[in-house]
Amino acid sequence: MHWMPGASLFSPADVARKDFYKTPAELRLMVAPGLATLASLDAVRAAIRPGMTTLELNDVADAAIRARGGVSNFQMVPGYRHTVCASVNDEVVHGIPGERVIQPGDIVSIDSGADVGGWSGDSAITLVVPDATRPELVAARQKLSAVTEASMWHGIARLAVARHLNEVGAAIEEYVESQGEFGILTDYIGHGIGRSMHEEPPVFNYRVRAKGPEVKPGLVVAIEPMVTAGGIDTVVADDEWTVVTADGGMAAHWEHSVAVHRDGIWVLTAADGGASELLPLGVTPVPIR
Ligand code: MG
Ligand code: MG
């Protein structure tokens, strides 16, 4: 899940407040919720097929979190009662699981989070359901998802060398711009994460002038670009949750929770800390000790 940027723009007072940096002991406690979150998304990835409802995907994710001793932290968000958000096609984020049936060719973003021992993880993936009858449509949607995912990894790689947090958004935007005609949502942004899923600081997925906080050991952030194949304007559906593109264009969303620690960075919601994607970008993630 996300913050709306208008709700929490950085003020000098926020920058002065350092209490969102975690201690080494706290960082170690964030490993388990990261892996439980990962398990829930792996379970959805393995289960998804045409004919399933988004509620069934939700229940698959919930079982995986519970099997790891966790509970859904999405259910701790006031007014939200599900374990994941399932956003299909022109739905960008915050889709509520329900009776919607997955169709061949759908582009489905699943956003999930686990709380283990009072600490949170938050991660999202986008999946394109195969459709042999529409190869061009599937290829275009896969490209949208791939650009979004790669932009996230470029942002994470920049975090490893950044002095200030706004460098992450710049890296994401540079990459997306290099890939063609895509839009990065500005209505929703990433966030710090710790005891709560949503904490300071805000994490922009695009260039902002304010440098944001210093990137140093103890910073833990959810980096989550939301990218569309068209315009970036969105509207909230009648259910008061689901965010859809105003122009009906397709959307993708990828997210990882990433820790900066004294020895380097570690992607908490990836089994290998992000190594497989970060090594080609010149970054070697280091486990939290
Ligand atoms: Mg999320
Ligand atoms: Mg998030």
Order of strands across the sheet that contains 123-128: 84-88, 107-112, 123-128
Fold of 24-281: Creatine Amidinohydrolase (3.90.230)
Ordered by start, the domain boundaries in the chain are: 24-281
User: What angle do the packed helices 166-178 and 135-159 form, to 10 degrees?
Assistant: 150
Counting ligands in written order, which one lies closest to the CA of residue 189?
2
Question: What mean pLDDT value characterizes the chain?
Answer: 93
Measured in Å, residue 177 CA sits from the centre of ligand 1 at: 23
How many other C-beta atoms can be found within 10 angstroms of the C-beta atom of residue 193?
29
Q: Taking a C-beta distance cutoff of 8 angstroms, is the pair 130, 104 a contact?
A: yes
What percent of the chain lies above the pLDDT cut of 70? 94
Put simply, whether the predicted model's pTM sits higher than 0.75 gets the answer: yes
Q: Which of 269, 231, 236 is nearest to 251 (CA)?
A: 231
For residue 137, give Cα distances in angstroms to 106, 118, 195, 228, 254: 9, 42, 41, 15, 20
How many other C-beta atoms can be found within 10 angstroms of the C-beta atom of residue 264?
16
Measured in Å, residue 213 CA sits from the centre of ligand 1 at: 21
Measured in Å, residue 19 CA sits from the centre of ligand 1 at: 22
Per-residue pLDDT of 197-240, as tens digits, reads: 999 999 999 999 999 999 999 999 999 999 999 899 999 988 88
Measured in Å, residue 192 CA sits from the centre of ligand 1 at: 11
Q: What is the pLDDT of residue 14?
A: 42
Q: What is the pLDDT of residue 11?
A: 38
139, two tokens: 């290829």
Q: Taking a C-beta distance cutoff of 8 angstroms, is the pair 74, 53 a contact?
A: no
Backbone angles phi, psi at 199, to 5 degrees: -135, 170
At 19, the pLDDT band (50, 70, 90 cuts) reads confident
Per-residue pLDDT of 79-119, as tens digits, reads: 889 999 999 999 999 999 999 999 999 999 999 999 999 99
Counting ligands in written order, which one lies closest to the CA of residue 94?
1
